[in-house]
Amino acid sequence: MKKSSLAPCIFALLALMGCTQPSGYTPTKVTSITINWQHGGTVGAYGNGIALNAQSPVQFTASVLPTNASDQAVTWSVTYQGNPTAYATIDANGILTSTIENDLPVVVMATADDGSGVSASLSVYLYLD
């Protein structure tokens, strides 16, 4: 029979109540992130990334390991030629939207919120039909 630990749930509840972590508690840090996507249109290959029709928003999600990481939240960002861009936006829920009527290569990045410094990126070519 597999045992499950209630410790993470208890610690989260204590944090919500304004309590501090018990002495000796060490949070489990994120070690890797994989970026996934959901898109109703055609998805093609683009170098080591993907090509998507930019006429509708694209939903990205992050798979975080280990699965028992204390904080599995990520912060999303999108860059164009290595710089933050207004050509495309990505919200806190991972929804990417193109803001221009042009083909555009961008990089989507998910960065762990736990302070581990772990991140993942995916090259995305947004195109218009």
Give 64-99 pLDDT, tens digit per residue: 999 999 999 999 999 999 998 888 999 999 999 888
- Secondary structure of residue 9 in the 3-state scheme: helix
- Secondary structure of residue 66 in the 3-state scheme: coil
User: Which segments within the chain are labelled E, that is strand?
Assistant: 32-38, 43-46, 49-53, 58-65, 74-80, 83-84, 88-90, 95-98, 104-112, 119-127
Residue 6 lies in a domain: no
Per-residue pLDDT of the chain (129 residues; tens, 9 = 90+): 444 455 555 556 556 666 666 677 889 999 999 999 887 666 777 777 888 887 788 899 999 999 999 999 999 999 999 998 888 999 999 999 888 878 889 999 999 999 999 999 999 998 887
* Stated pTM of the model: 0.77
Residue 36: give the domain boundaries: 28-127
Locate 72 and state its tokens. Answer: 């599995």
Residue 8 lies in a domain: no
Residue 48 lies in a domain: yes
